[in-house]
Copies of this chain bind each other. A is one copy, B any other.
Amino acid sequence: MKMKRTKKERQRLLIETITDNPFVTDDQLAAEFGVSVQTIRLDRMELAIPELRERIKDVAAKNYENEVKALPLDEVIGEIIDIELDKRALSIFDVKEEHVFQRNGIARGHHLFAQANSLAVAVINDDLALTVKSNVVFVKPVKAGDRVVTKAVVRGQNNDKNRTYIDVHSTVDNEVVFKGEFEMFRTKGVGETK
């Protein structure tokens, strides 16, 4: 329609257009910019923009990663690297950009809580473990890029009330950033087979 300014300008717009809608074909782009399909192809070559199908595949693949990641991430926050059931457990959690406040880059409290809580659940050797009560302290801000190492230690047991008491503390570079006590409910007492 409207005459394109320069090649540069067209290519700038091309990047923009494809970025926010990777599903567009060269034909549509050619029509959009009032140039030939070949010109669009040349532009893509120069800009190293892959063809439609590759772009779609990329989006799909990214989705797939997420899907695979999302499940364990949802299951247990942080990666458990050592565990001795009903005794202690250790997990690490790499803080990423998506876990922090944009404003100040400090991790949202609930992610640290989630890691601790997940670990408290995991350390209990029981089909059913629920958090009943918990007191936590956020000692020091955690930033994106930090690797949080969290340790849960089973402190006590009350088989009559079906309770397990767990202490958790998280560190970054050996400095405590978070600590908490968790009172957990379980269906079976320690040592009971059924």
Stretch at the interface among A2-10, A40-48, A123-131, A166-174: A123-131
Residues of the B chain whose Cβ atoms lie less than 8 Å from the Cβ of A61: 23
Closest B residue by C-beta to A106:
B130
Q: Which of B108, B109, B130 contacts A141 (CB 8 A)?
A: B130
The 5 lowest CB-CB distance pairs between A and B, nearest first, are A63-B63, A109-B131, A110-B114, A59-B60, A60-B60
A133 to chain B, nearest CB (A): 5
* A12 in contact (CB, < 8 A): no
* A103 in contact (CB, < 8 A): yes
* Contact residues, A107-159 vs B (CB, 8 A): 108-110, 113-114, 117-118, 121, 127-128, 130-138, 141
Count residues of chain A with CB under 8 A from any CB of chain B.
39
Binding site for B on A (CB under 8 A): 22-23, 53, 56-57, 59-64, 66, 74, 77, 98, 101, 103-104, 106, 108-110, 113-114, 117-118, 121, 127-128, 130-138, 141
A-B contact pairs, 16 of them (CB 8 A): A23-B60, A23-B61, A59-B64, A62-B63, A74-B98, A77-B110, A101-B128, A103-B127, A108-B117, A108-B118, A110-B110, A110-B113, A113-B113, A133-B137, A134-B135, A134-B136
